[in-house]
Structure 1
């Protein structure tokens, strides 16, 4: 919950501070042009990344494989494009860090490890709950019966 406080309160204030400092250093018109250029680049990047990710995912699906790597790469590219689209220089710097291939590879590895660890925890929790509830038995009603024919 604290991360949302940081994102919604402190981050815009920091962006505004940097915008004012850059605007006073290079001028208002140049700052606005840089922000517009960043927004256009972000939109174009999101479109290109979306098409490229969809194409690679379709190829993997055609081979009968799951496109989990392509989906995560596409998600990182979309986050980078979205950060470029946001007005501000801090978000543009974060976007460039995400979009730079070596750092994106590091982020991809960290994200993959985190997803695998979370899946392991959920699997362990599920198996623990099954062990606590005992072995699963089908619904069986035990009893005795005897056959009585009408003839006898």
Structure 2
């Protein structure tokens, strides 16, 4: 797993740099710079909007008395999307925009997350209430009487 992450952190930036250089070669450096800046600005706006919607859905789920697991997943994917969109690059922007769209989040949830949480489908949670030890009655033998005055 660590080796895969290392390859990912080396391979993705190199591919991103290559794609940005190819875009600059095909258009111009100014146009490439404008694309990078505009995707960052647009991504931050969309992430804020989607984040507020996810926050409202989270509160609605809590108000209805349900566990907001889907809303938490959406919120985490939106935060990850915002981080990807602020990173310059074409692949990270595409994945970031995919995570911002609800259809894209559903796709990621069905394909990626279902693979990682496949073993957790039949989880049962049980709880019981344990009695706390009996409290000792108040003992005032250590109480000191006094008088307070305000100056």
- TM over 0.5, yes or no? yes
Q: Check 1:48–1:100 CA distance in 2 against 1; reply closer, same or farther (3 A cut).
A: closer
**Matched residues in 1 for 2:61 and 2:39: separation?**
32
Q: Check 1:8–1:122 CA distance in 2 against 1; reply closer, same or farther (3 A cut).
A: farther
Q: Which residue of 1 aligns with 2:19?
A: 18
Is the 1:83–1:95 contact (alpha carbons within 8 Å) kept by the matching residues of 2? yes
Alpha-carbon distance, 1:46 to partner: 2.2
The CA RMSD over aligned residues, in Å, is 2.3
- Structure 1 segments of 4 or more deviating over 4 A? 120-123
TM-score, structure 2 as length reference = 0.70
**Matched residues in 2 for 1:122 and 1:86: separation?**
37
Is the 2:98–2:105 contact (alpha carbons within 8 Å) kept by the matching residues of 1? yes
Q: Which residue of 1 aligns with 2:34?
A: 33
Answer with 90-99 or 45-54: which moved more: 90-99
Is the 1:46–1:82 contact (alpha carbons within 8 Å) kept by the matching residues of 2? no
Alignment of 1:60-79 (within 5 A): 60-79=61-80
Q: Check 1:121–1:94 CA distance in 2 against 1; reply closer, same or farther (3 A cut).
A: same
Structure label with greater radius of gyration: 1
Q: Check 1:65–1:16 CA distance in 2 against 1; reply closer, same or farther (3 A cut).
A: same
TM-score, structure 1 as length reference = 0.70
Q: Which residue of 2 aligns with 1:91?
A: 92
User: What runs of 5+ residues in structure 1 fail to find an aligned partner?
Assistant: 124-152
Higher helix share: 1
Is the 1:73–1:108 contact (alpha carbons within 8 Å) kept by the matching residues of 2? no
Look up the SS of the partner of 2:106 in the other structure: helix
Look up the SS of the partner of 1:66 in the other structure: coil
User: What runs of 5+ residues in structure 2 fail to find an aligned partner?
Assistant: 125-151
Alpha-carbon distance, 1:112 to partner: 4.8
